[in-house]
A and B are shown apart, each in its own frame.
Chain A
Amino acid sequence: MSAPPSPDEGLSPAELAAKYGLSVSGARPGLAEYVRQLWGRRHFILAFSQAKLTAQYSQAKLGQLWQVATPLLNAAVYFLIFGLILNAGRGMDKDVYIPFLVTGVFVFMFTQTSVMSGVRAISGNLGLVRALHFPRASLPISFALQQLQQLMFSMIVLFVIAAAFGSYPSLSWLLILPALALQFLFNVGLSLVMARLGSKTPDLAQLMPFVMRTWMYGSGVMFSIPIMLQDKPAWIAEVLMYNPAAIYMDLIRFALIDGYGSENLPSHVWLAALLWAVLVGVAGFVYFWKAEERYGRG
């Protein structure tokens, strides 16, 4: 191009960029700015999670009915194996054990599926990451939100089961809300961490099911930790009971089941639930943001 001699002649690209106020493309915004951008995308995050949820069963003949049927079948399988065959209740009343078991399964699954979808949040959506601009944290958060909506359907099943075994709705059921809110925050943090790890090492998607299963058996989903570990050193039960999955499960069981009193909870349980949520939530968010500009590299 035969441009006229320009006063910019001889400037280096960086100097030229500075002169006209150009910024580096794809640079990571500051943390506050990042949060602001993320807030600006809240409608997308919500719409994406709802879309994923709907798309899940759209080819099935029963359609959205599976949202409720899947947790119901899950509960039935666990009841058959642990309730009837293995009798893992260990002297717990059936009226307590069955809601205990089903609550454990649903609440743990909430964390499990959030982690699993977190691992694939970036690595499974590279097309999206490479085509459009948005704060990448939108994806793991959106997937965690999808799991929360999924849990709402499971909760309907859970309420019916609880009532069927003699735990009727009462004021204490309201405690489920703060417990789930804290668990959701915890899940978001965890899935943000997994999303960053998974974007670098997609192999985690193969490994995580085993880690999650170990965690599940160690958190007392199908049995009560204190009863099962009666003859072991007390600190083992103590450690297991303060792990976040066990804490959130126990809180919701306590809120829901009449025969499951506060004697089953470790001390300062709400504080522990809050600390886990804030710690993992905030740390996970910052950890994810630190690599924001690197997501999408092949």
Chain B
Amino acid sequence: MADETNDVTATAADGARIPTVIADDVHIVYRVNGGGGGKGSATAALSRILRRDKAESRGVRTVHAVRGVSFTAYRGEAIGLIGTNGSGKSTLLRAIAGLLPTEKGKVYTDGQPSLLGVNAALMGDLTGERNVILGGLAMGMSREEIRERYQDIVDFSGINEKGDFITLPMRTYSSGMGARLRFAIAAAKNHDVLMIDEALATGDRKFQIRSEQRIRELRKEAGTVFLVSHSNKSIRDTCDRVLWLEKGELLMDGPTAEVLRAYEKETGR
């Protein structure tokens, strides 16, 4: 699996391409408590409960974030997801990863797709050192794996370049330093199906080059890569296929150049 390159799409014995992710009419609905009915006062909430109407008027609002998206991704593909803010890109990724339950439809995957990101498991009150261990464990690495890669993670993040910062609590880091350490931890693990959500633009120029390099490595090791980005350049550099989402619907699915041309025309640049 790891020795396949991205230009050669892998094929099965009968000449068919091997699918790794199949999305079949996926719908995702968020339910938001307290988002409904203009007024947020206690009496308004009470009257909503007393009225006993449908969920909509009881202060629960539903947001239909992804509406019937279907596609098949094959081994060796790098797929970009584009669309304006709030078009459902990140939500779709989470559904593929099995982290957000679908309202309707199914996602089939080969192995366990993983989101590149570990932010939620880290704690600002702990030292960088303990966060590396905690983050690694949260991603499902073993203690031995973490011990092996610990030095690489710290070196890669460059946290210790300006002094011994790794033994300070993470809340004392500058936002750039924090982002670098988070990326370094997240990128320490190899994945079958890898999903990257706008992670490229962290840190200074030097770190960006380093992280792009690391993402290329991860791509080589992963079977299929999904990339959400607002940078058409990084999509063009890394992806050979692009899905364009708008208002939760799949507007276009095709080769990068073709979809990006249409997208740029639509968004006016």
Contact = CB atoms under 8 A, between A and B. Distances in A.
Given A44-B140, A131-B121, 11 more contacts: A13-B108, A17-B24, A21-B110, A25-B96, A44-B137, A54-B125, A54-B130, A125-B120, A132-B114, A132-B115, A298-B30
A130 B94 contact: yes
Contact of A13 (B16, B22, B63, B101): B22
Interface string A20-31: 111111110000
B137 A133 contact: no
B98 A26 contact: yes
B173 to A, nearest CB: 15
B200 to A, nearest CB: 18
22 contacts: A7-B16, A8-B19, A13-B70, A13-B72, A13-B108, A17-B19, A20-B12, A21-B110, A23-B108, A24-B106, A25-B97, A26-B95, A26-B107, A48-B137, A48-B138, A51-B123, A54-B125, A129-B99, A131-B118, A132-B120, A297-B100, A298-B30
Interface string A31-43: 0000000001101
B138 A132 contact: yes
A121 to B, nearest CB: 14
Interface residues of B, number: 58
Contact of A6 (B16, B33, B110): B16
B87 interface: no
Interface of B: 12, 14-24, 30-33, 63, 70, 72, 94-102, 106-110, 112-115, 117-121, 123, 125-126, 130, 133-134, 137-140, 142-143, 169, 241, 254-255
Interface residues of A, number: 45
A36 B235 CA distance: 39
B100 A296 contact: yes
Contacts of B102: 26
Tell me what chain B mostly uses at the interface: helix, strand, loop, or mixed.
mixed
A132 B169 contact: no
A127 B117 CA distance: 11
A264 to B, nearest CB: 43
Interface in A4-23: 4, 6-8, 13-14, 16-17, 20-23
Most buried by A among B18, B109, B112, B137: B137
A43 B143 contact: yes
Contacts of A6: 15-17
A131 B33 contact: no
Contacts of A294: 101
A269 B130 CA distance: 42
A10 to B, nearest CB: 12
B121 A25 contact: no
A55 interface: yes
